[in-house]
Amino acid sequence: MRLGMRNRSCAALTLLAIMLVSVSSVWVAHREFSKGDWDFDMHELERLREELPRALTIKMAFTTLTSVLLIGLIVVHIRVYRETGTRFSLGLVIFSVALILYTLASNPMLHRIVGFRRIGLGPLLMLPDLFMVIAAAILLYLSRQ
């Protein structure tokens, strides 16, 4: 009985901390990004124009490699789930899928395929973070079991 109460208290504290950090982050971000001081000098813009293609190429290589590794991880987790049938191994499959969705959504190649060619702003800006939130929530859930 005491252990159940302790787990509920820990879960409530964790949820409270997550909510507090989330609200604080939104408040700080709103204050910082709504100031409107987005002035760049020409030297900064020229440097960005020169460095951006190289940075995007490196990011594309890393996210593609990560996607390939995660496909292997998904295959392993599916095999384990078929052998054991446990909820934990199913959770690992879902966790791995959320991670691969994160890498695919954050890959600059996807941004080019869907026709968005700007420097990281647009409809795909928050999508990778949504998948990371899902993955982290799944991992937290599995860790609490």
> In this predicted model, what pLDDT tens digit does every residue of 7-57 receive, in sequence order?
667 667 776 777 777 777 767 666 666 666 666 677 877 887 788 888 888
Region label for 86, one of left (φ > 0), alpha (ψ between -120 and 50) or beta (otherwise): beta
d(CA 13, CA 140): 13
Same domain, 140 and 87: yes
Is the pLDDT reported for residue 6 higher than 70?
no
* Residue ranges making up the domain that contains 144: 62-145
- For the entire predicted model, the pTM comes to 0.66
Q: Are 79 and 46 in contact (CB under 8 A)?
A: no
State residue 96's pLDDT score.
Answer: 92
The answer to the question of residue 53 being in a domain is no
Residue 108 forms part of a structural domain = yes
Q: Yes or no: say if 121 and 78 are a contact pair by the CB < 8 Å rule.
A: no
Helices and strands: H and E segment counts in the chain: 5, 0
Judge whether 77 and 96 are in contact, CB under 8 Å: yes
How does DSSP classify residue 115? T
Domain annotation covers residue 110: yes
| The pLDDT value given to residue 38 | 63
Cβ(63)–Cβ(93) below 8 Å: no
Res 119 pLDDT > 60: no
The pLDDT score that the predictor gives to residue 82 is 95
Of 67, 48, 70, 50, give the one whose Cα is nearest residue 109. 67
Give the number of domains in the chain: 2
Give yes or no: residues 71 and 134 share one domain.
yes
State the pLDDT confidence band at 141, using cuts at 50, 70 and 90.
confident
Q: Is residue 55 part of a domain?
A: no
Q: What is the pLDDT of residue 120?
A: 52
Q: Are residues 138 and 72 in the same domain?
A: yes
Residues 55-106 pLDDT 10s: 888 888 998 899 999 999 999 999 999 999 998 899 999 999 999 998 888 8
Note whether 89 and 139 are same-domain residues. Answer: yes
Q: CB neighbours (10 Å) of residue 97?
A: 19
pLDDT at 77: 94
